[in-house]
Amino acid sequence: MSTTTVIVGAGIAGASAALRLRSGGCPGRVVLIGDEPHPPYRRPPLSKDLLSGKTPEERIRIRPQEAWSQQGIELRTGTRVVALDVESRKVELADGEQLAYDQLLLATGGRPRELPQARGVPDVFTLRTINDVSALRDKLRPGSSLLVVGAGLIGAEVAATARGIGCAVMMLEAEQCPLSRLLPPQLAEVYTELHRSNGVDLHYGVQVASLERVDLGVLVTDTTGRKWIADTVLVAVGIAPNTELAEQAGLEIDAELGGIVVDEYLQTSAPGVFAAGDVACAPNLHLGGRHRVEHWTSAQEQGAAAAAGMLGERTSFDKVPWCWSDQYGKSLHVAGWPAATDQVSVRGSLEDYEFTAVFHRDDRLVAAVGLNRPKDVRTARKLIAEQPHVTADEVFAQLG
């Protein structure tokens, strides 16, 4: 009897799962459902070359449009799943259609966290989708001004892209350094220098109190009364995982991290239901505890791993997180879980934006960060997984 696998969310996690099901010989129906109007696409260029106009939209597709049907994957774009019943194994679509599944993957990703003060204010944007880029790109012209709230990965990348376009850029951050969720302060400081030397007016310790459209632009006021004005504002203060379907169906949600709890096989608390990508909160088999990673490679690897689980291959998901960021022509790579309290060893020069840093916690290699050193970080990623008790000298010796 033919089985049906339904995948909710046609981002990289969902798309990778669908492709892995087919390459793994799944004989049944595979239905990939996404609420965006576009076929699956790569999100990382949204803040980089798609925003700057250097890359056209067709170039960021994960596969050419026809590839999905050629693979026997039923891609349903512009379709929202509104309900999940794990007892009768059915999902309901926005138009009322009921779709029965044998196995289900929730790959619903996340959406930009909102600033309540910004709701409904004209010329204030967030960035998650192709449609968001279209709206924001129209506003970024040479000589126009942009204020970015939040100096995380997306805010910092948009600031760099906007400087490349020739905009005047201000960036406000609540913490005392940029990229604070990605890098410990001593390395994040490199990015303070990088942005300031590229002309970004950067302010730390800022809590935004209000945003208001006035004659000259959007007026942003912080809790101490400081004011900034810009033609356009981007709010980039993180994402909220899309857990509504899972919550409504009674699946376990991590109270602290907010994602759908999965086990090492990416299975949720409901039989036959898996979760992967930004929405999944998975066990960290290297360090213990649970993590919810919000990066491309993890979403891709988890989607494929969940599909492998659906195919009956019981392999624990133990991949070390990996992410990158491109700003001002410099590529940052991060593997593992760097923390401010780790022992850090650096090879290279922070001032010259060319270095590799490795992080030890209790004599265990837990992370590596490289600026313009992708090969080093790739090698270190392997060591974190396979040989974590190497010393910093031994790591650097292996990097060559």
Ligand X SMILES: Cc1cc2nc3c(=O)[nH]c(=O)nc-3n(C[C@H](O)[C@H](O)[C@H](O)COP(=O)(O)OP(=O)(O)OC[C@H]3O[C@@H](n4cnc5c(N)ncnc54)[C@H](O)[C@@H]3O)c2cc1C
Residues that bind ligand X (CB under 6 A): 8-14, 33-36, 43-44, 46-47, 80-81, 107-110, 127-128, 154, 242, 245, 277-278, 294-297, 299, 323-325
Q: Which is nearer to ligand X, 182 or 219 (CB)?
A: 182
Q: Specify the pairing of strand 364-371 against strand 354-361.
A: antiparallel
Instruction: Please state whether 122 falls in left (phi above 0), alpha (psi between -120 and 50) or beta.
Output: beta
**Structure-block tokens of residue 92:** 């309901």
Rounded to a whole number of angstroms, the minimum distance from the CB of residue 295 to ligand X is 3
Name the residue nearer to ligand X (CB basis): 161 or 356.
Answer: 161
Shortest spacing between CB 389 and ligand X, in angstroms:
27
In whole angstroms, give the CA distance from residue 125 to residue 20.
35
Strand partners, 146: 169, 232
CB of residue 236 to ligand X, shortest distance in Å: 8
Round to whole Å and give the CA distance between 58 and 77: 16
Task: State how far the Cα of 350 lies from the Cα of 219, in Å rounded to an integer.
Answer: 36
| Closer to ligand X by Cβ: residue 187 or 323 | 323
Measured from the CB atom, the residue of 242 and 267 that comes closer to ligand X is 242
Q: Give 331 or 345: the residue with its C-beta nearer to ligand X.
A: 331
Distance of closest approach, residue 107 Cβ to ligand X, in angstroms: 5
Q: What would the two tokens of residue 195 be?
A: 């942005």
Alpha helices in 217-274, H assignment, sequence order: 244-248
The token duo for 245 is 């379907």
Within 291-391, residue ranges assigned H as helices are 296-310, 374-386
Q: Which is closer to ligand X, CB of 110 or CB of 370?
A: 110
Residue 18 Cβ vs ligand X, minimum distance, rounded to whole Å: 11
Nearer to ligand X, 178 or 277 (CB): 277
What is the token pair recorded at 271?
């039989």
* Beta carbon of residue 209, minimum distance to ligand X (angstroms, whole number): 26
Minimum separation from the CB atom of position 157 to ligand X (A): 6
- Cβ-Cβ contacts under 8 Å for 299 (sequence gap 6 or more): 11, 12, 13, 16, 107, 109, 276, 277, 278, 293
The three-state secondary structure class of 104 is: strand
**What is the per-residue DSSP string for 219-272?**
EEEETTS-EEEESEEEE---EEE--HHHHHTT--B-TTT-SEE--TT-B-SSTT
**Nearest C-alpha neighbor of 42 from the set 337, 303, 297:** 297
Buried residues in 329-357 as b, exposed as e (16+ CB within 10 A):
eeebbbbbbbeeebebeebbeeeebebbb
Which residues share a beta bridge with 34? none
Q: Smallest distance from the beta carbon of 376 to ligand X, in angstroms?
A: 17
Q: How far is the CB of 26 from ligand X (least distance, A)?
A: 19
Of 12 and 399, the one with the shorter C-beta distance to ligand X is 12
Q: Which is nearer to ligand X, 298 or 360 (CB)?
A: 298
